[in-house]
Structure 1
């Protein structure tokens, strides 16, 4: 426990909190969007797909600035939310929002690919036996897509842990409030003699991200084997 200072532990725990909230909050919408893109054909589908993947293409600073002018206290959405006590700008909740948006494309893509691999004949057979679309989704599509859901969820968590550009632009880097591990590393690299402390945070960041990816692979494979048997 003496390896890190109190401020560094704050950054680590805040990163875990932000990543967990960002992942859990975006998961229901991620499953819904992935299902629509995988199964539905409608005007504007390509546009929706482009919007979902836009954070992967835009510079993170641009995404953070768009969040700031939209969800800031003077933004059209942020000002309305502030009246009911919901504040995103320069708050840890804003860091979670930025992380969720940046990680969302990875989550949707993994879940969408998993849904597309499901044999639609199974779903059609359930429908002909009288199952409603909602029941088919809940009892067939969702269980069969679980490997992709698990993979997408953990990959989104790992991506959220490493988010920097959009977060620092939207909520800045306030120690104990919005300073996550990436922004703490950046701050240490700007300070004389901070390289050693930054390297420790780099190490814990790599460990958490690699651990998340390994857990994702292990759980997805075990679930796929269990479902296959």
Structure 2
């Protein structure tokens, strides 16, 4: 027998619209993951029947495309400025991508499963490669540098997103405290570095600041001294 108390409350008639559907889709993807995204699950999250969702979108693929466009529209790429050092502009570009992926890690899955129709990722890649060339790298070096920066950005964003998910599941809002508790029980004679550097390791689990620390080191190694980085 179905437990009626576990059902989501029904939405008032006439309140459903495309914006509400997309907001619920983003929430479902972020918290349940792409594999759990179905029209039925989305309808349940909205508190409506499945056919009510179809009155605004033709199907799952159309919703996913709209979600992807919506999320990419949130990325504020810095305006191109030939007077700025390439390092500074590239840093801003990477920060924008990191922020998007760390807040919405399902974007990677959406890009992998649904071909890009617009300029979302293409525009970023063109800008980044152009900046690397303007910084003095030749073609092969710019391609390798772009790949290295993107690998780091994607990995760091997924690390941050995973940490946030684990903390939510464990009911722990402080990643530093979680690490301190984990290392407190380790024998110092066997793990001298982990126990000795526990406070420093805990302090490094701070999202964007830690990402920027690694990004600056990577860009400096690739492009040299970042004068006027900003």
The answer, yes or no, to whether TM exceeds 0.5 is no
Q: TM-score, normalised by structure 1?
A: 0.29
Choose between structure 1 and 2: higher helix proportion: 1
- What is the TM-score when the length of structure 2 is the normalising length? 0.29
Which of 1 and 2 has greater Rg? Answer: 2
Greater relative contact order (Cα < 8 A, sep 6+): 1
